[in-house]
C-alpha cells in the first residue's frame, strides 16, 4: 500500500477490530471505495496477521502506536 488514510484512536478500552471497522467506514464514506489493508504498530497486534471483517491487519513498525494506516492494497 503506497497511499492510504491515517486514522488515530488510542482509546485502550476499544478493541482493535472496532477501531479498524470505524476507520474503514469513514474511508468508504470519504473515498467511495472499501479498504482491504490496514497497517498498525506491532504493539497493537498480538499476532503477525489479523482479519477485521474484510480488512487484513498487518504489523508495520514505522506506524506510530495508536494510529492505523488504512487503504487499498496495490496489486502487483
Q: Return the domain boundaries, the chain.
A: 5-71
Predicted confidence at residue 31, as pLDDT, reads: 95
Q: How far apart are CA 54 and CA 37, in angstroms?
A: 9
pLDDT for res 2 = 74
Task: Find residue 38's DSSP bridge partners.
Answer: 57, 70
CA end-to-end span of the chain, whole Å?
11
pLDDT at 66: 97
Per-residue pLDDT of the chain (76 residues; tens, 9 = 90+): 777 999 999 999 999 999 999 999 999 999 999 999 999 999 999 877 789 999 999 999 999 999 999 999 988 7
* Joined grid coordinates for residue 32: 467511495
Amino acid at each position: 500500500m503506497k497511499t492510504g488514510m491515517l486514522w488515530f484512536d488510542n482509546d485502550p478500552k476499544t478493541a482493535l477490530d472496532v477501531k479498524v471497522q470505524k476507520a474503514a467506514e469513514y474511508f468508504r464514506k470519504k473515498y467511495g471505495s472499501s479498504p482491504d489493508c490496514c497497517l498498525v504498530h506491532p504493539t497493537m497486534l498480538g499476532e503477525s496477521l489479523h482479519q477485521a471483517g474484510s480488512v487484513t491487519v498487518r504489523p508495520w513498525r514505522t506506524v506510530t502506536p495508536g494510529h492505523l494506516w488504512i487503504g487499498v492494497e496495490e496489486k502487483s
